Amino acid sequence: MQNTGTGALQGAEDVRNTWRRSPPRREGKRAMAGGHSFDRLRAGLSAESRAQAAALTDRMERDLSLAELRRARAMTQDQLAADLHVGQASIAKLERRTDMYLSTLRRFVEAMGGRLEIVARFPDQPDVRLRGIGELNEADPSSETP
């Protein structure tokens, strides 16, 4: 018997259609792929597991890229560019940088309503907040602009 492949194609299409189906809805909430709501799954966690998850979420929310920070502050690149008197493309480029002047980073953070602080951490001493780092020297013409 010769296999024309038609059955195989239909089987693959059935798999794709099954995969694309939305998960079922239960009690007015979207269910996860396993069919359980997240609230129901979370209720089954121990208090210790919920505390660990909350701590991890908190750490993740405090560890952001510049673009993620801008979005978390509900600002667009255009808004930030206007505040910094530069073009939107400059903001996009700045958000992709891995190395920049501290004064540039300070201006970026301040334009979003924040304040930049630099903290040195040592294993055998308390944290030390460094002052005067990243401060703009208005008389210095070599200060970088974003």
Count structural domains, the chain: 2
Q: What one-letter code names the amino acid at 74? A: A
Do 57 and 115 lie in one domain? The reply is no
pLDDT given at position 63 = 78
Do 105 and 37 lie in one domain? The reply is no
| CATH code for the domain in which residue 112 is found | 1.10.260.40
- Give the separation between CA 100 and CA 122, rounded to whole angstroms: 24
Name 119's bridge partners.
Answer: 129
* DSSP annotation of 85: T
pLDDT given at position 110 = 94
**Residue pLDDT, tens place only, 12-66:** 444 444 444 444 444 555 544 566 677 777 778 888 888 877 777 766 666 789 9
> To which residue do tokens 């700045």 refer?
94
The strand ranges marked E within the chain are 25-26, 29-30, 118-122, 125-130
Question: Does residue 77 carry a pLDDT above 90?
Answer: yes
Residue 83 inside a domain? The answer is yes
- Give the separation between CA 20 and CA 95, rounded to whole angstroms: 35
Phi, psi of 26 (to 5 degrees): -130, 135
* DSSP annotation of 23: P
Domain end among 63, 88, 120: 63
pTM over 0.75: no
Do 69 and 113 lie in one domain? The reply is yes
Do 45 and 85 lie in one domain? The reply is no
Residue 46 structural domain: 29-63
